[in-house]
Amino acid sequence: MIESFLQIGFASVCCWLLFVTVDMICALPREGGVVGATAIAEAVQKTGGDIRGGTMMGNIVSSPDASAGTLLAACGVYCFGIPGGLVATVLVYLGNRICYDPGYAGTTGCFLATFMVYGGTCAGIPAEYFVAGMVIAILTIQGVSHRRASRLLGRIWRFRS
């Protein structure tokens, strides 16, 4: 039982790092790339959060982004292996185009997560632990505390730039 919690914890850290890294490389904190992202960023800032972290959160909420992509990849690999993750990547790409999302963070995150989850299964961590890990990673970015999460993301963004 303890081993399962450790594996889920490890999967959560891997998912969180992948999620944040892809979003930082694609420069999501720079500006609102989709409709609604700027409004969410301003609302987060009004509560004492960081505008850059809020912008990243707004982009994530308003578009099928890296968080949804990595979660779908984990589910796809769980159900069908690498082909399932690749199908999830195509679906995220189509979702981005439907939303007129000009970026490719979701597609990139989904593609990379497919191979991260598959590599984890080869190393002995079941794919379902990555599904749980991604949910935990998303909650720490989006759900626990907007103010604290946005400040952390803002610090990471300033370090990047």
pLDDT tens track for 17-28: 988 888 788 777
- pLDDT confidence of residue 1: 73
77-110 per-position pLDDT tens digit = 999 999 999 999 999 888 878 877 766 888 888 9
35-57 per-position pLDDT tens digit = 677 888 889 899 999 988 888 88
- Share the mean pLDDT of the chain: 85
Q: Note the pTM of the prediction, 2 decimals.
A: 0.85
Q: pLDDT: is 69 or 131 the higher one?
A: 131
Q: Which domain holds residue 45?
A: 2-160
Cα dihedral 58/62/63/64 (nearest 10): 90
Q: How many separate domains does the chain show?
A: 1
Burial class of 102 by CB neighbour count within 10 A (0 to 12, 13 to 18, 19+): exposed
